Copies of this chain bind each other. A is one copy, B any other.
């Protein structure tokens, strides 16, 4: 299958996905909105979300404009193609659009879910889940559409593989740029509003969550949408697009595929897998329905039925495509390993954070020992929970590389994300159900309705935790694939697996340290940002309660002001962490480019960047998993106690667990998820600016053939000797086999020991 045909298949699948999204959108919007009061509340949430996104996109727009211009300027003074700038712009637009559309439907589905839930649980689930599928479909369709179109255009326009990789990566870079700000800004907004609403409302005034008298309650509900819907959407948009881009790039670079004549087949494979995934996801989404009076288990079962059926069908599609394209079965093994890995990480995340399992139950029990203990135990739980996802990532990576080389890592990521349409649907469903409950409370609907929305909401919490694990796992695999593509782009004449570095090189080693530090600095900034923003909300809410006489029934709360404050502070606080994430890799790359040949090169060069990528990837992965799982476990430990365990509401254990939840909020909803984007951003920025570096760096390679590496070790520090030896060796025996054996012996250091061993 040619590149153009595969691209067209990708485009067709994307259009079908968009058509399905439109169909589901129409279904959702056709549902009744309920009473006037409900409509009134929903309108306020819509206005707030709209206002935030407009402000946020305007701020990001400036950034996007600056970067586009910078990329254009760079394309004039270096070998960076202008197409990168175009792709960047398109990626930013597509990512922004995906986030916007997802939120558009979410803030309209919430009230309709409430209304539907007042009729039946199944109807409620259907409306909420349908709005999730709108989001899921739009994200995967826009991503695949963009990649497919650019893939056809760029491979026809450009021919140097590093240039093609850079241009394609521009699309992913555009997506990540939106994502980093959307995740950080949305994350700050949602947690600041949540903490602000709770701290004054629940703790100081003593009114329940979502009480309409709380001035921050609308902001709180807006927050669910801007953080968990728009932020998560942009995040996974980018993972999805970048995993495909990385796979295409690595297939393009591969000298093995070139030699075999399978390059094009390997290039189109990820596009076709993604296309199949979209179509299968649509089919599987029709399986999600439940019976009236279904319990938590059954509700979860119905969502799982959708996800697992889609996974099963995708496995069949992967194998079919591999056979049809005439590829080795090892390609299927790598792809399926990724798919299974994604499901496994989701499962382990649930194990560590759901109150149906031991870890969270023990955390609840520890709350009886007081606040200090519950914090220590929660942190320990989060740290311990890194074990399972690391093992999964390690196994997937080992299988992927051993079966399909570094291309295997990229297609493992593609495989992991192949069911994203439906996975994201179950994830985006959560905030809608959460909002639906809020609206039911604010509109004083009967308890029966509230119980149904509670059931839907509680389900959303579980899927949100699973979704977070999935987002981190796929981000790690994607970042690893992008990193491989970047390293390969620096020396496009060899296979990525053949690239060697001096492992104790000063810039590399110091790059490891700097990279490992970045997630810590980034998390510190975002955690403090939440605190600062929350503080502003708290003061405003206190002021309103004090001045407006809300509790005495004399005045109405001013929701708009809280929304405006949340918006302002989130936008302000997102700038620094977002800028750092972009500035570090760009800065190192520019220093490398400009410092070539000078004394600076000894201290900072391309190896610094490679070190930063590796260091940040592994450090951020641990921190992100720790934060997400500790946060999720604290949240559920609190709910477990509220459900009547260990003294229930109002007990000392409950007070302790509430503090745990407060600490966990920025962990799991702001800092943790933002780290996913940080690592992808660092890697994709590097890939984008690889053409700048390729002319100034000396990336070395040693061929490796098959399983056992062929060693070409040169033991002497003096160049003269090497040449002499090489000549002697070549003269002594002209066949490659013997030469290789000689080299291997050298590598083991047996021959030379006597020379320098005394």
Q: Which residues of A contact B (CB under 8 A)?
A: 159-161, 195, 199, 255-256, 258-259, 366, 369-373, 375-377, 379-381, 383-384, 386-387, 390, 393-394, 397-398, 401-402, 406, 480, 483-484, 487, 491-507, 509-510, 512-517, 520-521, 523-525, 527-528, 530-531, 535, 602-603, 610, 614-615, 617-619, 621-622, 626, 658-659, 662-663, 666, 694-695, 697-705, 707, 709-720, 722-724, 726-727, 729-731, 734-737, 739-740, 744, 747-749, 752-753, 755-758
**Which of the listed residues A520, A702, A744 has the most CB atoms from chain B within 10 Å of its own CB?**
A520
Q: In the complex, are the beta carbons of A501 and B498 less than 8 A apart?
A: no
Q: In the complex, are the beta carbons of A506 and B398 less than 8 A apart?
A: yes
Q: In the complex, are the beta carbons of B387 and A517 less than 8 A apart?
A: yes
Q: In the complex, are the beta carbons of A618 and B516 less than 8 A apart?
A: yes
Q: In the complex, are the beta carbons of B717 and A703 less than 8 A apart?
A: yes
Determine the chain B residues whose CB is within 8 A of the CB of A619 once the complex forms. Answer: 516, 618-619, 622
Q: In the complex, are the beta carbons of A709 and B698 less than 8 A apart?
A: yes
Determine the chain B residues whose CB is within 8 A of the CB of A530 once the complex forms. Answer: 376
Q: In the complex, are the beta carbons of B498 and A717 less than 8 A apart?
A: yes
Determine the chain B residues whose CB is within 8 A of the CB of A497 once the complex forms. Answer: 502, 504-505
A715, closest chain B residue (CB)? B493
Interchain CA distance A747-B259 in the complex, whole Å: 21
Determine the chain B residues whose CB is within 8 A of the CB of A369 once the complex forms. Answer: 531, 535
Q: In the complex, are the beta carbons of A510 and B398 less than 8 A apart?
A: yes
Determine the chain B residues whose CB is within 8 A of the CB of A734 once the complex forms. Answer: 723, 727
Determine the chain B residues whose CB is within 8 A of the CB of A758 once the complex forms. Answer: 159
A546 CB, min distance to chain B CBs, angstroms: 18
Determine the chain B residues whose CB is within 8 A of the CB of A401 once the complex forms. Answer: 504-506, 509
Q: In the complex, are the beta carbons of A521 and B386 less than 8 A apart?
A: yes
Among candidates B377, B500, B717, residue contacting A256 with C-beta atoms closer than 8 Å: B717
Interchain CA distance A217-B520 in the complex, whole Å: 37
Among candidates B370, B494, B514, B755, residue contacting A394 with C-beta atoms closer than 8 Å: B514
Q: A602-B707, A618-B619 are in contact. Are A372 and B663 (CB under 8 A)?
A: yes
Interchain CA distance A252-B487 in the complex, whole Å: 34
Q: In the complex, are the beta carbons of A717 and B494 less than 8 A apart?
A: yes
Determine the chain B residues whose CB is within 8 A of the CB of A718 once the complex forms. Answer: 703, 705, 736
Q: A516-B622, A520-B384, A726-B726 are in contact. Are A500 and B377 (CB under 8 A)?
A: no
Interchain CA distance A394-B698 in the complex, whole Å: 23
Q: A376-B527, A663-B376 are in contact. Are A739 and B723 (CB under 8 A)?
A: yes
Interchain CA distance A757-B263 in the complex, whole Å: 12
Q: In the complex, are the beta carbons of A626 and B730 less than 8 A apart?
A: no
Q: In the complex, are the beta carbons of B393 and A603 less than 8 A apart?
A: no
Q: A756-B255, A757-B492 are in contact. Are A698 and B747 (CB under 8 A)?
A: yes
Q: In the complex, are the beta carbons of A659 and B521 less than 8 A apart?
A: no
Q: In the complex, are the beta carbons of A504 and B695 less than 8 A apart?
A: no
Interchain CA distance A199-B376 in the complex, whole Å: 15
**Which of the listed residues A505, A516, A615, A726 has the most CB atoms from chain B within 10 Å of its own CB?**
A516
Q: 23 pairs across A/B with beta carbons < 8 Å?
A: A259-B717, A371-B371, A371-B662, A372-B659, A375-B375, A376-B666, A380-B531, A383-B521, A384-B525, A387-B517, A387-B521, A397-B509, A398-B603, A487-B504, A500-B502, A500-B503, A501-B501, A502-B702, A502-B704, A516-B516, A619-B619, A705-B717, A705-B719
Determine the chain B residues whose CB is within 8 A of the CB of A492 once the complex forms. Answer: 749, 753, 756-757
Sample of 15 more A-B contacts, CB < 8 Å, known A493-B715, A727-B731: A159-B758, A375-B663, A398-B603, A487-B503, A491-B747, A492-B757, A493-B752, A500-B501, A500-B702, A697-B748, A698-B744, A698-B747, A699-B747, A700-B713, A718-B736
A505, closest chain B residue (CB)? B497
Q: In the complex, are the beta carbons of A500 and B700 less than 8 A apart?
A: yes
A478 CB, min distance to chain B CBs, angstroms: 14
Q: In the complex, are the beta carbons of A711 and B698 less than 8 A apart?
A: yes
Q: In the complex, are the beta carbons of A503 and B757 less than 8 A apart?
A: no
Q: In the complex, are the beta carbons of B517 and A402 less than 8 A apart?
A: no
User: Nearest 4 pairs between A and B by C-beta?
Assistant: A372-B662, A727-B730, A401-B506, A383-B524
A493, closest chain B residue (CB)? B752
A709, closest chain B residue (CB)? B698
